[in-house]
Chain A
Amino acid sequence: MVSPVKLVMQTMAYAGFAAVIGYFSASPEYTHLDPDLALVKLSFSHAGAPKTECRTLTQQELDELPPNMRRLTDCPRGRVPLLIELEIDGQLVYRDWRPPSGLAGDGASTVYERFPVQPGRHQVAVRLRDSRKTSGFDFEHEDAVEIGQRQNFVIDFRAETGGFRFL
């Protein structure tokens, strides 16, 4: 038979353990972004242009291939990296070359970047070069946007719908 004193001590031990479990299961709170800020997220996945143009095979080259592999063009798998720039209020906050994914470098390039900003009105400009050209950009989008406190402002890109879009 457990003595009343020990029963009380056991109860206290259980209560202590429960208090630790209860408290640390949701406390203390963690702030991973200043609540007075907002977040601009630049993220998209897009495949750059092939590194080189497809080449038409000569008749001799075709003849040397097995009949089931005789394709008229030879298209190298590699793709160019994407050049991405992001300007907020005239300041370049991001510029990077994003390599294509895949072992053969033939997959899409991806970007996923976060930029905490003060809420308010901002001039946001984003540019992308996905071709083999050596200067300039293939897609550009610039707009003045109102970003609210704690807003998750997303810059996405869909080539099939015309390019950049602000969400």
Chain B
Amino acid sequence: MTGTKRLARAGFEHLESGFDFVFGARWNPLYFLGALAWFFYWIVAVSGIYLYIFFDSGVHSAYESVEYMTHTQWYAAGIMRSLHRYASDALVVVVLLHVIREYIMDRYKDARWFSWIVGIPMLWLLYASGISGYWVVWDQLAQYVAIATTEWLDTLPLFGEPIARNFLHETVLSGRFFSLMVFIHIAVPLILLFVMWIHIQRHMHPSVNPPKGLALGSLAMMLGLSLAYPAVSQGPANLNQVPSTVGLDWFYLTLYPLLDVYSGEMLWVVVIAATFGLVIMPWFPPRHRAAAAKVDLPNCNGCGRCVADCPYSAITLEPRSDGDYHPKEAVVDAAKCVSCGICAAACPTASPYRRRAALVPGIELPDATIAYLRRASTEAVEHLSGPARVLVYGCQTGVPIEDLQDSAVAAVKIPCLGALPPSFLDFVISRRMVDGVLLVGCREGDCRYRLGQEWTRQRLAQQRDPYLPGRVSRERIAICWAGIGQLGKTAVQLEAFRNRLSGLAGSTGNGNLATASAQAAEHMETHG
């Protein structure tokens, strides 16, 4: 990650901290931009279906039908029209924020190129949907949009005759082209929906629904705006007059004023170059790609836990290829693997207690093996002394936990918190190698690898295999969710954790909290 991007990420996380404070991590809209996009899409779709019932698609009667909806049936169709417009605008905002955020957070490279690339035509389709929507109202803004759009399209060598001539004058206005636009305004959003579906195909448990609280808040916001400031038309279109001044929807029509300054050809060059730039971004600048997870067949019994936990659907269960009596084996699709290591932590064989000479689980990352993790953990704690010795496990791309190290604190970085098998906590605590373990993950609700936080929570709460053994005292484990720039916050939580550890009885693994539960996990987070 470049210095500029690191700075931008810190800035974005600063903003997110503010939203965390107001909404809490569970409802922070910046963590659910993709899900909010789906939510706004559905508002647009439902309101659009309702509007279509009353919409007259003839060019000479479209305006009257929209006026009827806006004024006569303001209480239903009028609100729906406003919802349709404002949710479309909100959709643009959250989609653009989503793109910017994924870029800043560096979540578009390597195996994630697929979602990024699929997202690019979605941007085009989104704008085509919105722009064609303004067209069909056939008010003065529609007239401006129709003429400006067709004049811009005419700068491409595609049409034998300028399509802008369809809107030359009232006397030559034909309903056919208008009907085509109505069709486009229905067809393009449907294509967009299809591409949105492709966009999330490589995600296990895709986040397509915002949390209930955030969804209700957003819907209330849209309704409130629709009632307080209803969307209205800008006077009927009249091709004999020039709509010299129009109230633009700047979310969709941002580029249009540029058509009066620069040539249409130049603007095409700009948007096509921008699109091309977005296309090559996942591979530019080139960088070393971490090795994909690797299956060790002698240790894989095809239990499927790695398949269930992989956030990117990169692992499948296939018929056994080595003649073993287990019917299935895990197979990694390297092209989809983001090298998060969550699969390794899900593997029941990834236990530091294994007594074999070589500790090789059924699946692991070649660049961060379980054997390495055990060695790194044991070596890191060797030098520790003091009453509250703590081993900090932290995400590789998160807080620089190495800066927390001192005589009583050691740090080991892992690709993702979800890549840490819970048995490691048992290993270092029950063997009294340390007095406590601090887990430092990404910001709460914003796991770099999507599901690492959730799986960690569930594993510690014994809700998901592999469980954290019940004999491990939960008081000796703390979790700190922190952004890249929150070293200070992490240090404060570490200090508080160490103070608590100092007050605990010296013995570890006493089993006094043997029954783990979701409450225990919550306790750890709250007090961590």
Question: Could you tell me which A residues sit within 8 Å of B by CB distance?
Answer: 2, 6, 9-10, 13-15, 17-18, 20-22, 24-35, 37-39, 41, 43, 45, 101-102, 107-108, 110, 112, 150-152, 154, 156, 167
A151 partner residues in chain B, CB cutoff 8 A: 240-242
Are B160 and A108 interface neighbours, CB within 8 A? yes
Task: Mark contacts of B175-202 with chain A using CB atoms, 8 A cut-off: 1 yes-contact digit, 0 otherwise.
Answer: 0000000000000000000000000000
With A14-B217, A45-B161, A107-B160 in contact, is A32–B169 under 8 Å at CB? no
Are B242 and A152 interface neighbours, CB within 8 A? yes
Are B169 and A10 interface neighbours, CB within 8 A? no
Does B106 touch A at the CB level, under 8 Å? no
What is the number of residues of chain B that contact chain A, defined by CB distance less than 8 Å?
Answer: 48
A25 partner residues in chain B, CB cutoff 8 A: 85-86, 89, 231, 249-251
Question: Could you tell me which B residues sit within 8 Å of A by CB distance?
Answer: 19, 22-24, 85-86, 89-90, 93, 144, 148, 151, 154, 160-162, 164-165, 168-169, 171-172, 217-218, 220-222, 224-225, 228-229, 231, 234, 239-242, 244-251, 256-257, 260
Are A101 and B160 interface neighbours, CB within 8 A? yes
Interface CB pairs A-B, < 8 A, 5? A14-B224, A25-B250, A30-B256, A32-B244, A152-B240
Which of B23, B161, B165, B240 has a CB less than 8 Å from the CB of A10?
Answer: B23
With A and B bound together, what is the CA distance between A45 and B162 in angstroms?
8
Additional pairs, 13, CB under 8 Å, beyond known A14-B221, A167-B171: A13-B22, A21-B90, A21-B93, A22-B228, A25-B250, A29-B246, A30-B256, A30-B257, A32-B244, A32-B260, A35-B245, A154-B168, A167-B169
Least CB distance from B156 to A in Å reads 13
Residue among B144, B231, B245 having the largest count of chain A Cβ atoms under 10 Å: B245
Q: How many A-B residue pairs have CB under 8 A?
A: 125
Are B248 and A152 interface neighbours, CB within 8 A? no
Residue among A15, A20, A38, A112 having the largest count of chain B Cβ atoms under 10 Å: A112
With A41-B168, A112-B162, A154-B169 in contact, is A35–B244 under 8 Å at CB? yes
With A and B bound together, what is the CA distance between A20 and B220 in angstroms?
16
A154 partner residues in chain B, CB cutoff 8 A: 168-169
A6 partner residues in chain B, CB cutoff 8 A: 22-24
Are A43 and B162 interface neighbours, CB within 8 A? yes
Least CB distance from A112 to B in Å reads 4
Say what secondary structure dominates the interface of chain A: mixed
Least CB distance from A49 to B in Å reads 18
Residue among A25, A37, A101, A108 having the largest count of chain B Cβ atoms under 10 Å: A25
Least CB distance from B408 to A in Å reads 36
Least CB distance from A69 to B in Å reads 27
Least CB distance from B340 to A in Å reads 32
With A and B bound together, what is the CA distance between A111 and B40 in angstroms?
42
A13 partner residues in chain B, CB cutoff 8 A: 19, 22-23
